[in-house]
Amino acid sequence: MTAAIAVRAVAKSFGAVRAVDDISFDVPMGSTTALLGGNGAGKTTTLSMLLGLLIPTSGSITVLGEDMVRHRYRVLPRLNFSSPYVDLPHRLTVRQNLTVYGHLYGVAGLKDRIGELADELNLGEFIDRPAGKLSAGQKTRVALAKALLNTPDLLLLDEPTASLDPDTADWMRGYFQGYCRRVGATILLASHNMTEVERMCDQVLIMKQGRLVDRGSPAELIARFGRDTMEEVFLDIARDRRRAPEGDGS
């Protein structure tokens, strides 16, 4: 299967600190992959490099067939990103924000597309309210609407269901799965919600101290670690309690 993302021997240093240390992985086209790790594991740095926000110290990153360091503008119209830690302009209404980003991404039939997303993500009641006056859950939904505006082939999601109530979060996961089936899109998500990872992901990449320490499907990892859930696998790896009997994560 062709890789939507191909990362080869990528490292990133900030002065003496090695934030990401020689990682390599592929994200197959049409798959949903989770990037897991504790705080400071290097997930955000890795996501930033995949988005072209951060230039790697060494190694190569290819996204949708393009070198992300040299030709990122060829691929940026085909991907999108959502993070609860990056805001949209507070003083603009939700509709205005979506309109501005729609124009930036060159979305055809923008009014219809915004209406469609407002219906699908239930933004109607606050679409003409300033983005800064929304609740955390509403902001997350707006950020997802922005991320879906250009119907991206690749979605990079940083904690996509953070701040959502369990019902909305569950609905959102179903929405993403439906979106991937419908569009054939690829998703790479960073999440601390292991239920989400088990339900949505075909592949899991686990990082620790800047290195990729394990990988596999959720079922494979659970079986390999002899556990019942991904949560337990995650804790084992985070606390160095047990090593996987097979597979070295490379």
Partner 1 sequence: MNLSFRRVAAMCLRHLYILKGSWPRVLEMAYWPAVNMVMWGFTSQFFAANSTWVARASGVLIGAVILWDVMFRGNLGVALSFLEEMWSRNLGHLSVSPLRPFELVVSMLCMSLVRTLIGVLPAALLAIPLYHYSLFTLGLPLIAFWFSLMVSGWAIGLGVAALVLRFGLGAESLAWVLIFAIAPLAGIYYPIATLPDWLRPVAWALPPAHVFEGMRSIMLDGVVRVDLLLSALGLDALYLTAGVVVFLRVWHGARVRGALLDVGE
Contact residues: partner 1, CB under 8 A = 14, 44-45, 48, 51-55, 73, 76-77, 79-81, 83, 85-93, 96, 99-101, 103-106, 130, 146
CB of 250 to partner 1, least distance (A): 26
- Asked whether the beta carbons of 171 and 7 are under 8 A apart, the reply is no
Nearer to partner 1 among residue 6 and residue 54 (C-beta): 54
CB of 155 to partner 1, least distance (A): 12
CB of 133 to partner 1, least distance (A): 12
Give the separation between CA 156 and CA 19, rounded to whole angstroms.
20
CB of 146 to partner 1, least distance (A): 7
b or e along 122-131 (b: 16 or more beta carbons within 10 Å of the residue's beta carbon)? ebeebbeeeb
CB of 126 to partner 1, least distance (A): 16
Closest Cα partner for 46 from 212, 231, 169?
Answer: 212
Nearer to partner 1 among residue 44 and residue 204 (C-beta): 44
Nearer to partner 1 among residue 31 and residue 83 (C-beta): 83
Q: What one-letter code names the amino acid at 108?
A: A
Q: What one-letter code names the amino acid at 243?
A: R
Q: How many residues does the chain have?
A: 250
Nearer to partner 1 among residue 93 and residue 177 (C-beta): 93
Nearer to partner 1 among residue 134 and residue 233 (C-beta): 134
Nearer to partner 1 among residue 85 and residue 167 (C-beta): 85
Nearer to partner 1 among residue 132 and residue 247 (C-beta): 132
CA angle 140, 191, 247 (to 5 degrees): 160
CB of 165 to partner 1, least distance (A): 24
CB of 73 to partner 1, least distance (A): 6
